[in-house]
Amino acid sequence: MESNFSDRVKDVISYSREEALRLGHDYIGPEHLLLGLIREGEGKAIKILARLGVDLNKLRKSVENAIKGTITVINLNNLPLTRQAEKVLKITYLEAKLDNSTLIGTEHLLLSILREDSNVAAQILSKFNITYDSFRSELEEKEEFNSPKMAMTDEPPDPQDYGSGDRPKRSSKSKTPVLDNFGRDLTAAAEEDKLDPIVGRSKEIERVAQILSRRKKNNPVLIGEPGVGKTAIAEGLALRIVQRKVSRVLFNKRIVTLDIASLVAGTKYRGQFEERMKAVMAELEKTPDVILFIDELHTIVGAGGASGSLDASNIFKPALSRGEIQCIGATTLDEYRQYIEKDGALERRFQKVMVEPTNLEETVEILMN
């Protein structure tokens, strides 16, 4: 699903340029985007701010006072976005995807500003008691009581945007909303009896659990031919965690599959994939109870890579080496040798677990069950 800027957001970006010129600046930063939102004055973001008790005139004056001492020589022909502003606009795609929206609205723009709390605009909003969490909570609370054709929207709804089914609801209490959007929680599925019981593979499941319980080199990679049951081993481990049939180190751990294809989908601008990956990594570093499961592990080598940007493996490696995240990989022997083994830095992070095809007796047992 690809997201596009709403007409209101396009107006806000245009107004932000005019605000920068009015203030004598030769750049557009997040603070100018916030002034553009205030000037536009009718989007969903502004309505939520008003509901949260923000005086827009005071907010505008606070922004202007914070940046009034930074007047520079104006180049009317070239008014570039700062790096922070570029980052804010890139993150809007992610915020829209979190809401399953094909349209980027003013609410997604403001959420992107608030997500990066190091910028001037977010710091000023915090003085008005507006944070990322408080704004998103208000947004989600309102949407729970509205149909897709809600009155408070940036654009008239298009029936094709919603399909024939209901929009899936994302838990506002989740600590990993970005990861939830790009993955599937196997332990949650196990708790809800949505996973089939696993027959056999006890030896491999125990080996994976043992590696995960280590202090170092605690990232197993399952290597075997297609169809031998590598994904089933991850599901079997999720079932054992729920049933408390693992070491105490793994109690309360969550196994979440990460869909690399979803992360890459729709990233047509350079750096967009990196922003998604870094958002996922930031959540993983803050929630050590999550263990990633990446099927087709070799796909992270080169995923999202473009001229001047990092691929997924280079974003993963530092966090894996520091022990900030844990990961279970799965791939075939040929692809392991072709992609993973050639990258010594990546290969060192993983402990191989060979998954051989089942013998005749085990195959019969699986078929009987």
In the numeric block, which tokens belong to residue 239?
A: 């079932």
Average pLDDT over residues 116-130: 87
Give whichever of 64-73, 92-101, 144-153 has the largest mean pLDDT. 92-101
Residue 226 has pLDDT above 80, yes or no: yes
> 226 CB contacts (<8 Å, ≥6 apart)?
332
Specify whether the backbone of 262 is left (phi greater than 0), alpha (psi in -120 to 50) or beta: alpha
Residue 171 resides in a domain: no
CATH of the domain at 61: 1.10.1780.10
In the numeric block, which tokens belong to residue 30?
A: 């997040």
Does one domain contain both 125 and 204? no
Q: Is the CB of residue 172 less than 8 Å from the CB of residue 140?
A: yes
Return the residue matching tokens 């402990």: 351
Query: Global pTM?
Result: 0.55
Does one domain contain both 23 and 127? yes
Residue 2 resides in a domain: no
pLDDT of residue 329: 92
CATH of the domain at 285: 3.40.50.300
Confidence of residue 154 (pLDDT cuts 50, 70, 90): low
Does one domain contain both 236 and 347? yes
Residue 173 has pLDDT above 70, yes or no: no
pLDDT of residue 235: 92
Does one domain contain both 83 and 181? no
pLDDT of residue 268: 64
Average pLDDT over residues 243-250: 87
Does one domain contain both 296 and 193? yes
pLDDT of residue 11: 87
pLDDT of residue 316: 81
Number of domains in the chain: 2
> 137 CB contacts (<8 Å, ≥6 apart)?
172
Tell me how far CA of residue 200 lies from CA of 68, 297, 354, in angstroms.
Answer: 69, 23, 15
Does one domain contain both 106 and 239? no
Nearest to 109 by CA among 142, 154, 148: 154
User: Cα 86 vs. chain centroid, distance in angstroms?
Assistant: 18
Nearest to 13 by CA among 4, 100, 64, 119: 4
Residue 293 has pLDDT above 90, yes or no: yes
pLDDT of residue 223: 94
Query: Phi, psi at residue 203, to the nearest 5°?
Result: -60, -45
Does one domain contain both 20 and 134? yes
User: Cα 242 vs. chain centroid, distance in angstroms?
Assistant: 25
Residue 186 has pLDDT above 90, yes or no: yes
What's the pLDDT tens digit per position in 297-344? 888 876 544 444 456 777 888 888 788 889 999 999 999 998 888 888
Q: How many other CB atoms sit within 10 Å of the CB of residue 274? A: 20
Residue 16 resides in a domain: yes
> 322 CB contacts (<8 Å, ≥6 apart)?
none
pLDDT of residue 156: 42
Confidence of residue 290 (pLDDT cuts 50, 70, 90): very high
In eight-state DSSP terms, residue 246 is: S
* Domain interval for residue 291: 176-368
pLDDT of residue 217: 84
Question: CA dihedral in degrees (306, 328, 115, 112; nearest 10)?
Answer: 50
Helices 106-115 and 83-98: crossing angle, nearest 10°?
A: 120
For the chain, the average pLDDT equals: 80
